[in-house]
Amino acid sequence: MAIFTNANLTAAIPQIWSDIINEAKFPQFVLQNFVTDLSPYVVDGGRIVHVPNIFTNVFTATTQSTQGTDIIASAQAPATVDTTLTVNTHQYVAWVIGDADLTQLATKYQLNEKYAVEAKRVLLQALEDALFGLYASITASVGSAAAISDLVCRQALTLMDTANFEADMTAWFFHPVVYWNQLSGLAKFNPNYSSNFNIIATGLMGDQGSNASKMMGVLYGRPVYMSSRVVLSTTYKNFLLHKAAMGYACQDPMDNGTKVRIQMWEERRLLSFVGAVDIRYGVAVLRADAGVQVLTDASTVA
């Protein structure tokens, strides 16, 4: 008995294209939304932003042991330190689609818009990586090639509080491996035992909408943020940071507040459609004493 097979009927079986596109996933860009944004200072041009430092050399209290003594004779003039941030990185993503192909693409996919969003996220991830890559300039560190512990957390807090940095402008930044495999497994931080650590589903920080929603809890009064962009170099370079520790500036020629520029145009000499997304930025450590590296092992599970 002969029976039709899929191969016999292939000429009559339609192929269905869904209206779903599986897009790339990107991390929440929490660090760039937390540290100091110097972008407004380069809107009208310029390359180097100066942030004077008057904390390295400070005044000292002087006692007037005899009333009427000339205070001018003991006037002080501590030297300032010039801290700078240079906008010196220009990165872009570009693509070209020929007119013939563009005409024949299914209109329901809106590929150019999808590619523009993806390119924007690629470039914002580059900025995020540049900020996390400043870890070597944060000189204070706690922890080692071992799982994180309550003591390590308290050591980091001790360094920050000894230096008098405000708790409400300070936050933790942990890699997901550290957050889920180590920090969340410590009994002392389990919400069933202590109120020091409150695990919550998500949070919101700054003006980047869902891209900033990665607040994972509150540890000793400081918000905890999770990011897969935390650097792994022998150990994870997690952070306890004050907002003043790092800064960045994005020089957006369109001044649209999105950090990146999106351009699309018909290029007649190519008979093609061109898309280009670019970002110009600089990053710098503004206060090396305003942060602590929290070093942890990459594989230990608490």
The answer to whether residue 69 sits within a structural domain is: yes
What pLDDT, on the 0 to 100 scale, is given for residue 202? 46
Neighbours of 241 (CB within 10 A): 28
Q: Is 133 exposed, middle or buried (0-12, 13-18, 19+ CB in 10 A)?
A: middle
Give the CA distances from residue 197 to residues 73, 149, 220, in Å, rounded to whole numbers and listed in that order.
53, 13, 7
The answer to whether residue 2 sits within a structural domain is: no
Cα angle, residue 20 at apex, residues 15 and 24 outer, rounded to 5°: 125
Residues 6+ apart with CB under 8 A from 121: 24, 26
The answer to whether residue 48 sits within a structural domain is: yes
The answer to whether residue 136 sits within a structural domain is: yes
Which string of b and e fits 72-105 if b means at least 16 CB within 10 Å? eeeeeeeeeeebebebeeeeebebebeeeeeeee
The neighbouring-strand residues paired with 171 are 241
Please answer whether residues 59 and 76 qualify as being in contact, where contact means their C-beta atoms are separated by less than 8 angstroms.
yes
Q: Average pLDDT of 209-216?
A: 57
Q: Average pLDDT of 204-223?
A: 63
What pLDDT, on the 0 to 100 scale, is given for residue 290? 96
Q: Average pLDDT of 128-152?
A: 94
Q: Which helix (H) or strand (E) holds 262?
A: strand 261-267
The answer to whether residue 156 sits within a structural domain is: yes
- Over the stretch 245-276, which tens digit does the pLDDT of each residue have? 999 999 986 666 779 999 998 999 988 989 99
Higher per-residue confidence, 109 vs 278: 278
Distance CA 265, CA 273 (A): 6
Residue numbers of the domain that contains 177: 23-302
What pLDDT, on the 0 to 100 scale, is given for residue 210? 41
What pLDDT, on the 0 to 100 scale, is given for residue 213? 57
> How many domains does the chain contain in total?
1
What pLDDT, on the 0 to 100 scale, is given for residue 212? 45
Distance CA 6, CA 88 (A): 59
Q: Is 280 exposed, middle or buried (0-12, 13-18, 19+ CB in 10 A)?
A: buried
Distance CA 219, CA 224 (A): 6
pTM (2 decimals)? 0.88
The answer to whether residue 161 sits within a structural domain is: yes
What pLDDT, on the 0 to 100 scale, is given for residue 108? 67
Q: Average pLDDT of 181-209?
A: 59
Least confident of 190-194, 232-236, 239-243: 190-194
The answer to whether residue 9 sits within a structural domain is: no
Q: Average pLDDT of 279-299?
A: 95
The answer to whether residue 1 sits within a structural domain is: no
